[in-house]
Amino acid sequence: MSNQHESQLSHLNETGEAQMVDVSSKKVTRRQAVARGQIRMKRETFEAIKTGNSPKGDVLGTAKIAGIMAAKQTANLIPLCHPLPLQKIEVNIIGDETLPGYQIEATVITKAETGVEMEALTAVSIAALTLYDMAKALEKSIKIENIRLMSKTGGKSADYQSRI
C-alpha cells in the first residue's frame, strides 16, 4: 500500500496501524443511512414463508427484529466503529415474486459526530442471515445477495446516493 493511499484511510495511523478515528472535534449533526440487500430462494420456500408455513414460525418478523437489534450492536461487532445513539432504526422486508425472495431495506438515523452507514449495512446483513436461519430447514441453497449502501446524508463529507 502506498503512503499516499494510507493517508486517505482514516482508520490507519501514520505508521499504518489500525486506530479508532477521533471524532471529538466533529460537529453533531443529523445523519441518515439507507442500505439494501436481497435474499433469493426457491419459489416453494418463498411461498412457505409468505403464507406463514415455516417450521420456525414468524420468519419475517423475527428477521426484522434481528436487524433492528443488530444495528444497535454494530460497535460491538465491527472493531473500530463508534457506539452511537440511534434515534431511529427501520427494517423493511418486502416479498419479491421476481427473485423469488425478499428485498431487505434498513434506514438508520442518529444525531452524532459520525455516520450510520455501518449500522444500516449491519441491520440488512443480520436480517438476511436471520431469514436464512429461520428458513434453512426448508432450503439450504438460499442466497444472500447485493448488500449495499443506497444513500447517506449528514456530516462534513458530501451526501451519497447509489446509482444502482
Q: Cite the annotated binding site for substrate by residue number.
A: 80-82, 118-119
Query: What is the domain extent for residue 89?
Result: 24-154
Residue with cell 431511529: 88
End-to-end CA distance of the chain: 29
In a domain, 10, yes or no: no
Q: Cite the annotated binding site by residue number.
A: 80-82, 118-119
In a domain, 105, yes or no: yes
In a domain, 162, yes or no: no
Catalytic residue among 22, 58, 133, 159: 133
Query: Whole-angstrom Cα distance, residue 108 to residue 5?
Result: 30
In a domain, 136, yes or no: yes
Q: What is the CATH number of the domain that holds 34?
A: 3.30.70.640
In a domain, 17, yes or no: no
Complete DSSP assignment for 55-113: TTS-HHHHHHHHHHHHHHTHHHHSTTPPP--EEEEEEEEEEETTTTEEEEEEEEEEEES
Residue 131 confidence (pLDDT): 97
Q: How many domains does the chain have?
A: 1
Residue 7 confidence (pLDDT): 45
* Other C-beta atoms lying within 10 Å of the C-beta of residue 130: 21
Residue 116 confidence (pLDDT): 94
| One pLDDT digit (tens) per residue for the chain, 164 residues | 444 443 465 666 677 776 667 677 778 889 999 999 999 999 999 999 999 888 888 999 999 999 999 999 999 999 888 999 999 999 999 999 999 999 999 999 999 988 899 999 999 999 999 999 999 999 999 999 999 999 999 988 889 999 87
Q: Is 96 a catalytic residue?
A: no
